[in-house]
Amino acid sequence: MAYVEDSEFERDTTYIPDRITRDGTTPDGRPGWPVEPGRYRLIVARACPWANRSIIVRRLLGLEDVLPMGIAGPEHDERSWTFTEDPGGRDPVLGIERLQEAYLARDPHYDRGVTVPAVVEIASGKVVTNDFPQITLDLSTEWREYHRPGAPDLYPADRADEIDEVMRWIYTEVNNGVYRCGFAGTQDAYEKAYDRLFTALDRLTERLRDQRYLVGDTITEADIRLFTTLARFDAVYHGHFKCNRSKLAEMPVLWAYARDLFTTPGFGDTTDFDHIKRHYYRVHTDINPTQIVPAGPDLSGWLEPHGREALGGRPFGDGTPPGPPPADEEVPAEHRARALAA
């Protein structure tokens, strides 16, 4: 959901605004749906940074049994994400070939972007919401009754204002900043976006130099939102989006921070570099018309020691790490081996 205005990239942020809340009511006046185990299906794509957030949050909170997940393939055309890696090319629960079908089931005249993550009501086959920033916050707050024992508090009430402030800034300057570089329509727009992005990354370096996490001494939603951009930086944004002042691996503080999270259960084990590279290099034909997927870079460094334990902090606070992902949700072993091989 994006367009270029005056040669500068702008993201269309008009999403289906419904929310899934504890009792189906919403204090902000948006349409509400009640939390019900098994009623909904979270549709994601491992390639997409916005969807990757919801995969991580769902896993950390242990919601696998109450909110089943469908995984779209890494590529899509102008119409929709598809389920090319499922048997028969269909989601095994919804029975659809394209996520677009769930959007059209809700609104036959739907003409906006078909995005992930999307929450679909299983019985009706209709999309409930694709409001990706709200989806993960609601998983933390509205689905709390169904969190696993030992689930971390990713959005603690006493730090919510600070987390919100940090997330707003990370979204505009970093999460969206790499896209402003990649889809700039002129040299001037690109150079402005480039300077803005690396100014933000330098600022993050200073923030994280002496503290392990972005807010407080535990992992919060803010860390998850930054991680999914950092995880894609060297694999695609550095080359494909021309964010090439430095690789992440050449920014010592951010590189160690990202590796710290990558080796934390729920982060690296939900990251599929194979899907990430195939998506960006094959879908963005305006940037990469040959659709050639580069063989590099060497990503084995993600598994090197990071040393950030010395800064203290407790990744899960008073909670515990999640268990292994369900077998049918594991990143394929061959993808990990191919990406992380030395």
Has residue 122 got a pLDDT over 80? Answer: yes
Shared domain check, 197 and 113: no
pLDDT of residue 339: 74
299-329 pLDDT, tens digit each: 999 999 999 999 999 999 999 999 999 999 9
Shared domain check, 234 and 141: no
58-86 pLDDT, tens digit each: 999 999 999 999 999 999 988 899 999 99
The pLDDT confidence band at residue 6, using thresholds 50, 70 and 90, is low
Shared domain check, 275 and 254: yes
Distance from the Cα of residue 336 to its chain's centroid: 18
Shared domain check, 177 and 317: yes
pLDDT of residue 29: 85
Using a cut of 0.75, tell me whether the model's pTM lies above it. Answer: yes
The pLDDT confidence band at residue 333, using thresholds 50, 70 and 90, is confident
Q: Residue 3 carries which DSSP code?
A: E
Q: Which domain holds residue 295?
A: 157-340
What is the total count of domains within the chain?
2
218-265 pLDDT, tens digit each: 999 999 999 999 999 999 999 999 999 999 999 999 999 999 999 999
Shared domain check, 122 and 16: yes
pLDDT of residue 5: 54
Own/partner long-range contacts of 231-234 (Cβ < 8 Å, ≥24 apart): 231/49, 231/52, 231/258, 231/262, 231/267, 231/271, 231/276, 232/49, 232/178, 232/276, 232/280, 233/178, 234/297, 234/299
Mean pLDDT across the stretch 76-100?
A: 95
Q: Check if the beta carbon of residue 91 is closer than 8 Å to that of residue 70.
A: yes
Q: Check if the beta carbon of residue 128 is closer than 8 Å to that of residue 120.
A: yes
Shared domain check, 195 and 122: no
φ/ψ (deg, to 5) at 82: -125, 170
- As given in the structure block, the two tokens for residue 252 are 């010592």
Has residue 147 got a pLDDT over 80? Answer: yes
Write down the mean pLDDT value for the chain: 95
Catalytic residues: 48, 179
CATH of the domain at 256: 1.20.1050.10
Q: On the CB side of 1, how many CA atoms lie within 13 Å of its CA?
A: 17
